[in-house]
Chains A and B, each alone.
Chain A
């Protein structure tokens, strides 16, 4: 049996959120990934974020491509509709779904092979269209399901488990997302839940293309000396540029931090992103600065994490398409079918 439902026993005093759901209501089935896989930590962070944001699970559509990362939507939000599409092409399916019903929350989960190799084209275009979504890449620099080949995010000079050296330059999806027009761009580490959960929350609330690159070491094939995507390597080279609090409007609180070290930004939906700066010079509202910063840290062998860029009032695909507020899948026949009288007029113009 390759499918295991979690036992339904609940502790009677599990805390509930505003919707009356417990954290268990946001879980999925038992993971079939390797024990210790970073992806499971990300699933757990997604569960935490949705629980804390009081998101009704059925209002989330979770979509993925193919690969270890793309299996994960089965392991969280069991009450949400999921779609495990084809390799590298989740972005187009998500785009279509979003166009059809703008009222749901779209969560795309992908991997580095899925997004940076076979799916690089779709990754690029979903960002440049500004599709309102949270796009998470669970990045381990390796193909897990096919047993250890390098992916396009593997750093040049890094070593595979079998000892092969990667001779190709790596693709930095954060830099690409920044260049392509994503309006919320962050990087994090699966082993840093304190940083990851608020970043996911911010992304879910962001009404535009939100991209999160999460370094997520592969315990089976890429967690060894010589890898630049191992737990140890990422821990040692992680440099957080800021930390984030997300405050939704209905529970807004006054600031309790010393002025000057906090930057509060109101998002489109009214929620507030509160950035606690670690490095005073870091400006998360500048796309150009973000690109320069990420690249300069990379050149020093560091991995910049945190919220790297965001636009508080982004445009999304529906703005570009000028679509009606009612989701397209809810329009009725009267609104869609012009009827025979209009057709007769049309015929008259064809003679």
Chain B
């Protein structure tokens, strides 16, 4: 079998044991490649466990800058005996197996169609270190050193990164550098370097930044003016609250008094988190909570209150695999319906679907304007894949001329000047009414907020007419929301086509690559990336213009498809679900394969084939 040969275009996967300190070595490896100007797309695949279970880190090295997972693995760094068999089986034919050859393994443990690179890591480490902890930690750096020789990764880049990592802890710097060279020297002296797959300096990264979606979203909250976060720890959203704390400590401490221009409360549970957000938002502060699926379930009663009482709460749902506890450390897009219709009774909520960290930042900031403008809960639906993986994306940007949109708030001056006030009076006809913050005016503008039915002046009533009037206005407000939420992104095929594909959120990077692959195979589909719910009229019209539309999602039941059918009154037969929900991020290969196969069922012949055979047709 011919060894795989590729420069700046391969997938390498590290199979490790949770808690062995491999994460920092693996990130070091990936970042060194990025510093060489070669785009990378890494993914953490980790268990719901602290120590001892299998964990993987997959790095896609990609000259073209694709940011999704490709699928398959060209080189496996097999450091976990527990997962040896499936890890070896995953390697593409002609690919490479890198392993610790200290103890011999029977021939049956290998494959004939792959290239095996053995390095006695344990022996090298044991000879150099006596402390067991050091042996574990430095073994990771030693394999990074060996890989630097095998893949031609610039050593100075790695050394610089180590220096940055141990800045202020110089004692640790030298032993790490020594371990790096130990591995590198062994590989250069004993192995054939470089391999068929290798890295070559490039300029593909440019000004792009490498950041986690959770961190970027948290920074968006800072820029969007959020002063209060209430949260309860839950994977994969905890790192967002922690990042918000970090960003606030950097940007929000009053230099004169050293006091905080923010507050963060780790609540006793999710119910209290959202309760606090609602209390703060009612009182005029921008507030948010971040959670995951189980948290949304727990918060639902309060979310219904916020919808009915019209309070601008912002909720970040970093989705994971459900239902119930599901797979807490695996990704999905399975909370779409739970969020769209959270709580009992007739409710509908605004949803935003960021695609990458940059959009997580932007939509986080936008969500506070939207929530204030609409006086309603706004959900930002990230998922573990965006939230907890560092990704390359365009630099974050802020327009300094931008101002917070605090929506319809009557100030003391407005009230003093006699501005008309009735908390639920639809003065402007857009369904959005005016509010006042508590404490604004001694005699005017106070009102009672409640989850029970009320009239236009916020007075409790069980009168059916007043109830219907209110519910109809809430629908009007949802119509208004269409004009305010981000528009869908259209990606038109190079030729006219009767087929379309809809996607959203973290599926974006894999989808873009799949579209390119489909085009290479002369399969034409128009694409539409939904960025928000409620859907704009254009979305429904776009679906109407296509004979058949695929809806690509990372859940079992096609939740966005259900929402399109329900809210857009679309014929369900027109929307074909393409679903990936095993907990791993969707790949370009999967999408392309599914669409190509299904188009076959619709009797579609690729354009190139048509031209070559001189006939046929769709």
Asked if chains A and B come from one complex, the reply is yes
Q: Is B588 part of the binding interface, using a Cβ–Cβ cutoff of 8 Å?
A: no
**8 A Cβ contacts from B182-222 to A:** 205, 207-211, 219, 222
Interface residues of A in 85-138 (CB under 8 A from B): 85-86, 89, 91-101, 103-104, 121-122, 124-125, 129
Chain A positions within 8 Å of B463 at CB level: 1
- B225, A84: Cβ atoms closer than 8 Å: no
**Judging by beta carbons under 8 Å apart, are B257 and A324 in contact?**
yes
User: Do B439 and A101 touch across chains, with their CB atoms under 8 A apart?
Assistant: yes
Contact B403 A95 (CB under 8 A): no
Across the interface, which residues of A come within 8 angstroms of B395, CB to CB? 344, 347
A281 at the interface (CB under 8 A from B): no
Cβ–Cβ contact B449 & A83, under 8 A: yes
Pick the residue among A1, A56, A100 that contacts B284 (CB under 8 A).
Answer: A100
B446→A81 contact, CB < 8 A: yes
Q: Taking A89-B302, A92-B267, A322-B259 as contacts, is the C-beta distance between A100 and B227 under 8 angstroms?
A: yes
Q: Is the CB of B437 within 8 A of A329?
A: yes
Q: Does A340 have its Cβ within 8 Å of any Cβ on chain B?
A: yes
Q: A324-B261, A328-B261, A336-B261 are in contact. Are A100 and B285 (CB under 8 A)?
A: yes
A:19-78 near B, CB below 8 Å: 56-59, 61, 63, 73-74, 78
| Residues in B whose Cβ lies below 8 Å from that of A121 | 268-269, 272
Partner of A2, one of B227, B276, B301, B462: B462
Closest to A104 in B: B439
Asked if A253 CB lies within 8 Å of chain B CBs, one says no
- Report whether A59 and B450 are in contact in the complex, using a CB–CB cutoff of 8 Å: no
Is the pair A347, B396 in contact by a Cβ cutoff of 8 Å?
yes
Q: Does B171 contact A (CB under 8 A)?
A: no
B279 within 8 A of A: yes
Q: How far is the CB of B207 from chain A (nearest CB, A)?
A: 8
Asked if A280 is an interface residue, CB under 8 A from chain B, the answer is no
Question: B287 is contacted by which of A89, A96, A103 (Cβ under 8 Å)?
Answer: A96
- B209 pairs with A100, CB closer than 8 A: no
B262, B281, B399: which has the most chain A beta carbons within 10 Å?
A: B262
Does A92 contact B259, Cβ atoms closer than 8 Å? no
CB contact under 8 A between A336 and B284, given known A81-B446, A328-B261? no
B31 to chain A, nearest CB (A): 9
Q: How far is the CB of B310 from chain A (nearest CB, A)?
A: 12
Interface residues of B in 236-268 (CB under 8 A from A): 251-252, 254, 257-265, 267-268
Q: Is A346 an interface residue (CB 8 A)?
A: yes
Decide: A122 near B268, CB < 8 A? Known: A86-B302, A86-B451, A339-B400. Answer: yes
Q: Is A333 an interface residue (CB 8 A)?
A: yes
Give CA–CA (A342, B259) in the complex, Å: 20
Q: Is A82 an interface residue (CB 8 A)?
A: yes
B432, CB-defined interface residue at 8 Å: no
The distance from the CB of B157 to the nearest CB of chain A, in whole angstroms, is: 12
Q: How distant is B203 from chain A, measured CB to nearest CB, in Å?
A: 13
Of the residues B205, B222, B265, B442, contact of A79 by C-beta under 8 Å: B442
Interface string of A182-213 (1 = CB under 8 A from B): 00000000000000000000000000000000
Checking A3, A83, A350 against B461 with a beta-carbon cut-off of 8 angstroms, the contacting residue is A3
Known contacts: A61-B283, A93-B275. The answer to whether A328 contacts B438 by CB under 8 A is no
Number of A interface residues in the complex (CB < 8 A): 61
**Complex Cα distance A96/B264, Å?**
10
B451 engages A84 (CB within 8 Å): yes
- B443 and chain A: residue at smallest CB distance: A79
Report Cα–Cα, A57/B396, bound state, in Å.
Answer: 45
Q: Provide the bound-state CA to CA distance between A100 and B459, in Å.
A: 25
332-351 of chain A: CB within 8 A of chain B: 333, 335-340, 342-344, 346-347, 350-351
Separation of A337 and B277 alpha carbons in the complex (Å): 20
Task: Return the contact of B259 from the options A325, A329, A340, A350 (Cβ within 8 A).
Answer: A325
CB of B449 within 8 A of CB of A96, answer no
Are A340 and B279 in contact, CB atoms less than 8 angstroms apart? Answer: no
A323 in contact with B260 (CB, 8 Å): yes
Contact across chains for A99 and B461 when beta carbons are under 8 A apart: no
User: In the assembly, what is the distance between CA of A93 and CA of B271, in Å?
Assistant: 10
Closest residue of A by beta carbon distance from B447: A81
**Chain B interface residues (CB < 8 Å from chain A):** 34-35, 205, 207-211, 219, 222-223, 225, 227-228, 230, 251-252, 254, 257-265, 267-269, 271-285, 287, 301-302, 305, 395-400, 403-404, 436-443, 446-452, 455, 459-463
11 new A-B contacts, CB < 8 A, other than A96-B230, A324-B254, are A57-B442, A58-B442, A73-B448, A89-B275, A92-B279, A99-B280, A324-B259, A336-B222, A344-B395, A346-B219, A351-B35
Interface residues of A (CB under 8 A from B): 1-3, 56-59, 61, 63, 73-74, 78-86, 89, 91-101, 103-104, 121-122, 124-125, 129, 321-325, 328-329, 331, 333, 335-340, 342-344, 346-347, 350-351
Give 7 pairs: A residue, B residue, CB < 8 Å, sorted on A: A82-B446, A82-B447, A92-B279, A93-B276, A97-B283, A124-B268, A346-B219
